[in-house]
Chains A and B, each alone.
Chain A
């Protein structure tokens, strides 16, 4: 059995800081303001778009910024943000997961049933996250171990989970939840604060992990070039599997934080969540071809897309235009990317 040559240039010693997987801008502008602008062009332009929208709202409909309204908008966006963070990792790893809407519904129902069975809330939370991780690990197993394309695997699991849930519950709402379930048994303000704090905590932890933990860099490495990552000593299958498990766990958490906002649980919840999160991630500038993107972009994308529906209400425009505007934003964002890369391509 011939052994592969893992280091083609044995004279050169590779230090741990030699490569950051191509994330450093090659033109030496890393620390200048222009370099920052050009590297984060997409995140910043989405943030600018969000600011413009907020300014228009501030001028035309100040009621949008009323405390209760703002809190409602943000607590609606928080579960989406958590799921979108997971989706960011999956897409950076050059995979995709379209089954999270169904996972979300299954996790919501499981949360309700566990709470009804009288389990204490922390155990319920753990159980929901674990069942999300379990469903994610099934996707991960099919993708990583069997080498099947993720879009097809998750298409299959999406249909399977959704239909299995319908078969099991027959569309029945989970009702008569114990008192400790809605808002974790606190009043509404405290519950909303906890949801926001939970989402913020997850977001910050993931940002730090993606930047400073080896596992975070591995995700970028596998997403940019699987083979190169393997030669660098990373186990791509392991990373891919891990990303799907994290995605599932985050979906479970998102489902829990969404479920505690209501008095009973709709088994049809989460329909279309997969496309909503993918849209937010893409608008935030994460490359669908893997290896590029930041969680900050996802945050901006989620906020921009979840402001549209309430903004339409406050600007007294028909609510049916929401999807049109969402679609237009996605197409505009990627078209801007296309134009920009074409122009850069010509200049070089």
Chain B
């Protein structure tokens, strides 16, 4: 085994996912001691159940951030889709599967609006989705006049958010399918490769012959559709659809994605990292709750964790860049000062 090989082994161990798994294990170890009923099968499944919506949003956000973009509108879109679903089911009198299908279409359309502005007019995603963040939430409030609340959904719909298959919460299989699908898309298809290529260098991707606009549009439409799916699961779990559903979820999703090692500048990141990020946040929240700690501590620790992890990554990058530079340029001229 030569030195290069050893170094690459060492490096693959130092990957971001390993760091996150270590954090998760520390969390698990601490909370198993301090929390009542933390390390039980039931609680594990509860954590899963409550992280499905954020997890879905984070899954949809991953391709977007991989392309170097961002989607601030998903939380608002969740609210809008929840309200639309309620309207379609109660006021338009549609059967709930039809209403659910139409809601997914609305999510895709809303994502398409973002995509249209970003790709056709070449506008910065941060600004476009900031605008649609306001627009979608506003539409949700306008549709309900700010007060309307949709309740008493049919029980076979609610079963998707409150029911169990044996011990497994009903929404977990949906989440698993979505996770596998996004993983396949990002890691096993040319689409995923082109997301990264665009994130690294949009112009370079264009010169390489990639249809940059269409790939970007796909990422945003996917994010919108997934937000609609999250809205359906949210409504099924909570049993009501109000205009303020999902407020602040976009930031939680972004936090999870960034914590999962995806670079906010695009080009670098994995779906399994995102899933670990979601798990880290969910376990932290649940563990603190069961340890009788104030819920605010979860927020503070989330922020701190984000900063620490990023600083560590930045320091590691600086370190490795210096090593690469010293490897490429071994002999420095000593004559000049």
Contact = CB atoms under 8 A, between A and B. Distances in A.
Contacts of A146: 311, 314
Interface residues of B, number: 50
A328 B135 contact: yes
A331 B132 contact: yes
A142 B128 CA distance: 27
Interface string A314-348: 00001111111111101100110111011000000
A73 B337 CA distance: 63
B131 interface: yes
B303 A323 contact: no
A34 B251 CA distance: 43
A68 interface: no
B130 interface: yes
Q: Which of B134, B296, B310 has the largest number of chain A CB atoms within 10 A?
A: B134
Interface stretch (A150-158, A189-197, A248-256): A150-158
Interface string A156-196: 11111011101100000000000000000000000000000
Contact of B130 (A153, A279, A337): A279
Contact of B134 (A96, A152, A275, A320): A275
Nearest to A324: B138
Nearest to B252: A159
Interface string B132-156: 1111111101101110000000000
A331 B302 CA distance: 32
A279 B127 CA distance: 8
Interface string B52-95: 00000000000000000010000000000000000000000000
A275 B337 CA distance: 50
Interface string A287-322: 011000000000000000000000000000011111
A155 B70 CA distance: 13
Given A155-B255, A335-B121, A320 B135 contact: no
Q: Which of A147, A159, A167, A342 has the largest number of chain B CB atoms within 10 A?
A: A159
A339 B117 CA distance: 10
A162 to B, nearest CB: 7
B190 interface: no
B228 to A, nearest CB: 18
B201 interface: no
Contact of A327 (B123, B136, B298): B136
A318 B142 contact: yes
Given A288-B126, A338-B122, A1 B132 contact: no
B127 A339 contact: no
Contact of A324 (B120, B142, B264, B307): B142
Interface string A1-15: 111000000000000
Contacts of A142: 307, 311
Interface string B4-24: 000000000000000000000
Contact of A320 (B120, B138, B302, B311): B138
A248 to B, nearest CB: 17
A288 B128 CA distance: 11
Contacts of A247: none
Contacts of B336: 1-3
A278 interface: yes
A273 B314 CA distance: 30
Given A149-B264, A320-B141, A320-B145, A327 B132 contact: yes
A155 B300 contact: no
Contacts of B117: 331, 334-335, 338
Nearest to A341: B122
A30 to B, nearest CB: 27
A95 to B, nearest CB: 12
B54 to A, nearest CB: 14
A282 interface: yes
B310 A282 contact: no
Contacts of A204: none
Contact of B138 (A282, A325, A334): A325
B124 interface: yes
A119 to B, nearest CB: 27
B306 A155 contact: yes
Contacts of B144: 320
Contact of B135 (A155, A157, A164, A327): A327
Contacts of B146: 319-320
A148 interface: yes
A328 B123 CA distance: 15
Contact of B131 (A96, A152, A327, A338): A327
Interface string A188-222: 00000000000000000000000000000000000
Nearest to B297: A167
B165 interface: no
Contacts of B311: 142, 146, 148
A96 B126 contact: yes
Contacts of A275: 130, 133-134
10 closest cross-chain pairs (CB), A and B: A338-B121, A323-B138, A327-B135, A163-B299, A327-B134, A160-B303, A324-B138, A330-B131, A167-B296, A331-B131
Given A2-B332, A152-B306, 8 more contacts: A1-B332, A152-B264, A159-B303, A279-B130, A331-B117, A335-B117, A338-B121, A341-B122
